[in-house]
Structure 1
């Protein structure tokens, strides 16, 4: 876990770091030495800037093309969106019949167990998701849990959001305990970016909670670029692994950020060294406001072919797209335009 003190200097708690995240374009401009004019006020109104300090420290000052900065910067390109980019590119509304729950795939169900994130990624496929309609109390969670109890074809629950780890450990303990009481559920999967953008989240209470979950545990991190992995992130991943949790990583291939085979090869190597196994490499979901991150399939194929030639099979993430109404993610490694 991340130590509470470092060189005798008190380290802020994760809640303090989260509450002090940068949300002002002017502050971001001043802190990073980038022109305020490079930040779109209109894009920021549509989807607010939100960057915590630990992530900010990994961004190179004065570099408007920094790959970490581009993931969080409200850009002018967001305001020009092609008509085939939508607010719900995966048609998740179709599968959101019970508040707080998305049942799209046969054997697993997703609980929208966090209505906010620790960072606002500009390419997020849920940037327009109606979180206000899926923010539940304990009493309302009972409806989603009852749904899971009645659907015996399910064997895995995915906690996602938003980010489930924005909840406090007491809430997480209650929810995971209720899930573990359901006989046909074997695994709990947690999709989160918090141990990456605020490694302090992996503190003693968190490790205690995670260690005590009786189900098989999988944590899927979201790291797109090797510059996101620093020593604190490595410590956080090790602490999570030490609880008996399988740690995986998923990435999105993004123009101007990681659309280079050497970058993605290094990411796979660095992830494995840190203790996380590359899992998915996603083609961008066609979410409104993110078209400038998209790549032609021919370019993706070229990058992926280089990865296959340079990495052992266990370090090559599955190249996939999520297509509305399909019964699974669609593999793209042999996809032809």
Structure 2
């Protein structure tokens, strides 16, 4: 008889860890010794967007602290049930950018390949929390059409693997896909947008590092880290393995109220990232996705925080503050000029 233990023994360490992730609000609240009064709202919000968080990530949180910045990113709250004006299920207009299942064209010279809707963690502010992955992802049985479209367009120099999280694919299927992309002569760079090296560091296997280092496509990995405490010893080790494999490492963060909305927290994040040889790349204004309004900091506040951040860090450690707007040909940079604190407007 095939037992659960037998199935688990055939999985990689990261898959075994993910199979034991916390998915029930009651367990998360019990493990962190939180007030059980949080449970009704947590269950109501989790019915709309499920809870998922690896135990190794939970271990980085402070017990008995409901405002812990890592906990706030994953704990379902009653505020997710709000429906404020200006928030939608498709905040950056991605559905209009789908040119074939799983392939999005928004920007010149590059295309985004959505490989899966699966993630290792459900961030409560996720801008794709309502995305119709069943219809519009290039899951492996449908990836051929997306690869064919990439091959037909010589203007595309870079392919971006996204999701969900592209590293939810196991190493061998990922190697097969990358091999097909390598056969397209006009592709030069392979970019992966992933949160797994941070929230599930065991995913960075020796095989994955070899796949990326051996590719003819120049590998770039954009990880997603919002707070310095996310960079524990396991994440640092995973990033070091990727760096040693020749992968250019960049980071993107989202400005989140109650998580990292202060210059000192962002400065600590940039300093810690640089210790890991990761370059702070983007600081995103929150995409206005339905269910995440309680995380939003307004644009003027964001620019003021950026201005303060510039006084604390050398320029190469200051991420670009940007917002994404549906239909625009690039991410809109904010705070290029010093903020006039009286008018809250940019000034030379």
Shorter-chain TM-score bucket reads over 0.9
Q: Could you say what secondary structure the match of 1:77 adopts?
A: helix
Q: Distance in 2 between matches of 1:294 and 1:38?
A: 21
Check the 8 A contact 2:119/2:168 in 1, yes or no: yes
Contact 1:156 1:185 survives alignment (8 Å): yes
Shifted more, 79-88 versus 117-126: the winner is: 79-88
Conserved in 2, the CA contact under 8 Å of 1:14 and 1:198? Answer: yes
Cα shift at 1:136: 4.0
Tell me which residue corresponds to 2:334: 332
1:26 matched to 2:26? The reply is yes
1:126 aligns with 2:124: no
Cα deviation, residue 140, structure 1: 1.9
Unpaired segments ≥5 residues, structure 1: 1-11
Tell me what 1:289 maps to.
291
* Partner in structure 1 of residue 37 of structure 2: 37
Separation in 2, partners of 1:294, 1:138: 35
State whether residues 224 and 251 of structure 1, in contact with CA within 8 Å, keep that contact through their aligned partners in structure 2: yes
- SS of equivalent to 2:70: helix
Which structure 2 residues correspond to residues 1-337 of structure 1 after superposition, within 5 A? 13-39=13-39, 40=41, 41-334=43-336, 336=345
The higher-RCO structure (CA 8 Å, 6+ apart) is 1
Distance in 2, matches of 1:269 and 1:280, equals 15
Task: Check conservation: 1:81, 1:290, Cα contact below 8 A.
Answer: no
Q: Are the equivalent residues in 2 in contact too, given 1:115–1:134 (CA < 8 A)?
A: no
CA distance in 1, matches of 2:100, 2:195: 25
Give secondary structure in 2 for the equivalent of 1:143. Answer: helix
Gaps of 5+ in 2: 1-11, 338-344
3-state SS of 1:37 partner: helix
Q: CA deviation at 1:19?
A: 1.0
- Most deviating of 211-220 and 138-147: 138-147
Q: Partners of 1:239 and 1:334 in 2: how far apart?
A: 35
Partner SS, residue 322 of structure 2: strand
Q: How far apart, in 2, do the equivalents of 1:138 and 1:293 lie? A: 34
Distance in 2 separating the partners of 1:134 and 1:180: 23
Does structure 2 retain, via aligned residues, the 8 Å contact 1:32–1:61? yes
Rate the CA distance shift 1:138–1:302 in 2: closer, same or farther, 3 A: closer
Q: Specify the SS of the correspondent of 1:67.
A: coil
* TM-score normalised per structure 2: 0.91
What is the TM-score normalised by the length of structure 1? 0.94
| Deviation of the 1:37 alpha carbon | 2.6
Relative to 1, partners in 2 of residues 1:137 and 1:75: Cα closer, same or farther, differing over 3 Å?
closer
- Please report the RMSD computed on the Cα atoms of aligned residues, expressed in angstroms: 1.3
